[in-house]
Amino acid sequence: MVEHYQPTQEAALDRDCTTLSRHVFQQLQSFGPDAQDLSAIMNRIALAGKLIARRLTHADLVEDALGFTGRTNVQGEAVKKMDVFANDVFISVFKQSGLVCRLASEEMEAPYYIPENCPIGRYTLLYDPIDGSSNVDINLNVGSIFAIRQQQGEDIDQKASDLLTSGREQIAAGYILYGPSTVLVYSIGRGVHSFTLDASLGEFILANENIQAPSHGPNYSVNEGNFWQWEDSVRDYIRYVHRHEGYSARYSGALVGDFHRILMQGGVFLYPGTLKNPNGKLRLLYESAPLAFLMEQAGGRASTGVQDILDVKPDRLHARTPLIIGSPDDVALVESFIKERIREQEVLSASQR
């Protein structure tokens, strides 16, 4: 009688085999064309993460890897060499993929179209290639943020106007955190999952499934140097956390690391509007909306202060938005100060009529 081989049920082996592309199929419980596309897209994003991580881990040993290019991007920010490298990595990994036709990035004024992938490629990648790049030269954490959307319509004029829709059109989002380890966190709308890069395998391996943000946490993450630039309502919130026990200020100046702490430990990250930037500093389409997608999937919230981030429709590709994101109880607390001030202003203006 033929003895049928029984593969080992060794958990460690199965875990090491749970790569990002396999996990997408597990999530979707399908091997259909959409699942195949998403699995392949996530695999290429993982490759981008590996290429950027490799550069970062010895950037100060590589000729010409650090410092500024001397150019200014569409945001009016000085462009760092690492910004350009990372931007081009994401373009390169999607060449000859037939998947992603358009890439919209913080570093490019208009979307980039990959000729051989258009119009067959029906996916668009929106990304911040290196967020927090001021940290690169001092070896502190930085991150890449991405969102995936499906193209709506033919975009004949190549204005990508179909991207000016709410974040609820995103089909996937995530980030890569380049820290002591390189961690990729993603969601395709079925929970939030993290993968850690095992350099010995050259693979991102599943580390945490179905991450849930705590309903409340001790961290509040904000640049208090802007204190006198904010609305009174935000200052009222900051005074509140100063006066009450149980709050810790944690701010690294790099959104991805600050967000990851809030996702894992709870609390709130906020970048409110300031006198200089009334709509805030962070960009909607490739920073706030992808992170809002993740945070909602993890049971948290993301708000402008008066509206859910995922409901905001941008009027242009590089639109900015105020961002309050994190544990539901903590986001609600910040919103309560903002809404209280709005009520007071409405009462005052009614009394003056």
3-state secondary structure 84-110: HHHHHHHHHHCCCCCCEEEEEECCCCC
Among 43, 166, 212, 223, binds ligand P6P (CB under 6 A): 223
Residue 338 Cβ vs ligand P6P, minimum distance, rounded to whole Å: 19
User: By rule CB under 6 A, what string of x and - marks binding of each residue 48-67 to ligand P6P?
Assistant: --------------------
Tell me whether residue 132 or residue 314 sits nearer to ligand P6P (CB atom). Answer: 132
User: By rule CB under 6 A, what string of x and - marks binding of each residue 179-218 to ligand P6P?
Assistant: ----------------------------------------
Dihedral sign for Cα 243, 248, 253, 256, please.
Answer: negative
What does the angle CA 336 – CA 342 – CA 347 come to, to the nearest 5 degrees? 125
Residue 54 Cβ vs ligand P6P, minimum distance, rounded to whole Å: 22
What does the angle CA 118 – CA 173 – CA 252 come to, to the nearest 5 degrees? 125
Residue 45 Cβ vs ligand P6P, minimum distance, rounded to whole Å: 19
Residue 135 Cβ vs ligand P6P, minimum distance, rounded to whole Å: 8
Q: Point out which span in 64-72, 210-218, 238-246, 250-258 binds ligand P6P (CB under 6 A).
A: 250-258
Among 111, 132, 272, 328, binds ligand P6P (CB under 6 A): 132
Question: Does 281 engage in binding with ligand P6P (CB under 6 A)?
Answer: yes
Cβ contacts of residue 9 below 8 Å, gap of 6+? Answer: none
Among 37, 131, 231, 330, binds ligand P6P (CB under 6 A): 131
Other beta carbons within 10 Å of 195: 26
Among 98, 218, 253, 299, binds ligand P6P (CB under 6 A): 253
Tell me whether residue 254 or residue 324 sits nearer to ligand P6P (CB atom). Answer: 254
Residue 244 Cβ vs ligand P6P, minimum distance, rounded to whole Å: 23
> Angle 33-57/81-93 helices, nearest 10 degrees?
150
Tell me whether residue 92 or residue 223 sits nearer to ligand P6P (CB atom). Answer: 223
Are 260 and 139 in contact by the 8 Å Cβ rule? The answer is: no
Residue 51 Cβ vs ligand P6P, minimum distance, rounded to whole Å: 21
Question: Does 80 engage in binding with ligand P6P (CB under 6 A)?
Answer: no
Dihedral sign for Cα 13, 14, 16, 21, please.
Answer: positive
Q: Point out which span in 90-98, 184-192, 210-218, 248-256 binds ligand P6P (CB under 6 A).
A: 248-256
Closest CA to 187 of 299, 92, 279: 299
At 65, the amino acid letter reads: A
Centroid of chain to Cα 337: 26
Question: Does 107 engage in binding with ligand P6P (CB under 6 A)?
Answer: no
Alpha-carbon gap, residue 149 to 338, rounded angstroms: 32
Among 148, 255, 284, 325, binds ligand P6P (CB under 6 A): 255
Q: Between residue 298 and residue 337, which ones bind ligand P6P under the rule CB under 6 A?
A: none
Q: Point out which span in 57-65, 118-126, 150-158, 247-255 binds ligand P6P (CB under 6 A).
A: 247-255
Q: Which value, in Å, is the radius of gyration of the alpha carbons in the chain?
A: 21
The count of C-alpha atoms lying within 13 angstroms of the C-alpha of 145, restricted to the half-sphere facing its C-beta, is 28
Q: Scan for tokens 């954490």, then name that residue.
A: 141
Residue 103 Cβ vs ligand P6P, minimum distance, rounded to whole Å: 19
Are 124 and 94 in contact by the 8 Å Cβ rule? The answer is: no
Whole-Å CA distances, 110 to 11, 64, 106 = 46, 26, 9
Tell me whether residue 212 or residue 223 sits nearer to ligand P6P (CB atom). Answer: 223
Among 254, 317, 325, 334, binds ligand P6P (CB under 6 A): 254
Count the site residues for ligand P6P by CB under 6 A. Answer: 8
| N residues, the chain | 353
Instruction: Provide the binding-site residues for ligand P6P, judged by CB under 6 A.
Output: 131-132, 134, 223, 253-255, 281
